[in-house]
Each structure stands twice: as C-alpha cells, then as structure tokens.
Amino acid sequence: MSDVTSTQNRLAATQEAMTKRQTFELRKIGDNYEKELNEVREKNEKEIAKIKKDYDVEINKEKSESEAKLSKVRNQYQKKIEEETKRFEKLMNDLKTSNADRLAETQMSNEQQIASQEMKHKEYLEKARMKFEEEKAKMES
C-alpha cells in the first residue's frame, strides 16, 4: 500500500505542479493581453485626441474664414447702403428743387395771367366807361 500512496502522492504533486504551471502561464497570457489592451487603448486615445485637436483646429479655421467673409459682406453692403442713401438724398433734393421751380413757375404764370386779366378787365371797364360817357354826352346834348 505504500506504493499506492506514494504513487498517489507523486501523482498529486505532479498534478499540483501542472496546475501551478498552467496558472502561471494563464496569468502570464492574461498579463500580456492586459498589456496589449492597454497599449491599444492608449494608442486609440492618442489618436482620438489628435483627431479632436485637428477637428477643433479645422472648426476654428472655418469659423475665422466665415467671420472674415461675413465681415467683408457686411462692409460691402454697408458701403452700398451709404451710396444708395446718398443717391436717394440727391434724388430727393433734386425732386424738391424741381418741384419748387415748377411751383415758382406756376405762381409766376398765375400772377402774369392775373395781371393780364386785370389789364383786360381795366381796359374793358375803361372802354365801357368811355362808351357810357359818349352816350351820356350824346344824351345831354
């Protein structure tokens, strides 16, 4: 029986050694996977950070370009508005001057017509008075 027990003991020791070796190898493989996983994770995080940085740089560049274009367009339209405002004011002044000239011309024409009409009326009255005087003189004589 001692042979059986010693064989069992050897078998148990061999099995324990194999289990320890397998555990060690599994731990080593696990550590290697953990190391690889951390390396891949760090690499990916660095790549993501680089992509984010590039994206932010591109966004800021686009924003700056857009603001510059917007500013340019605003300045162009501001100049256009100023030009159109000046043109409008000139047209309004020309129109006011033209209307004032026409009004003055119309008033002068009306005054001339009134003067002419008064003159005709005075002539008519004078002729009528002279005719009356002639008729009166004929009647008195």
**Cα–Cα distance, 116 to 127 (Å, whole number):** 16
Mean per-residue pLDDT, 48-55: 96
The pLDDT, as a whole number, for residue 64 is 97
Mean per-residue pLDDT, 93-100: 96
pLDDT digits (tens, 9 = 90+) for 25-40: 999 999 999 999 999 9
Q: Is the pLDDT of residue 1 over 70?
A: no
Q: What burial letters (b/e) apply to 3-38, b meaning 16+ CB within 10 Å? A: eeeeeeeeeeeeeeeeeeeeeeeeeeeeeeeeeeee
Assessment of whether the complete model's pTM goes beyond 0.75? no
**Cα–Cα distance, 94 to 90 (Å, whole number):** 6
**Cα–Cα distance, 60 to 54 (Å, whole number):** 10
Q: Give the side-chain half-sphere CA count within 13 A for 62.
A: 6
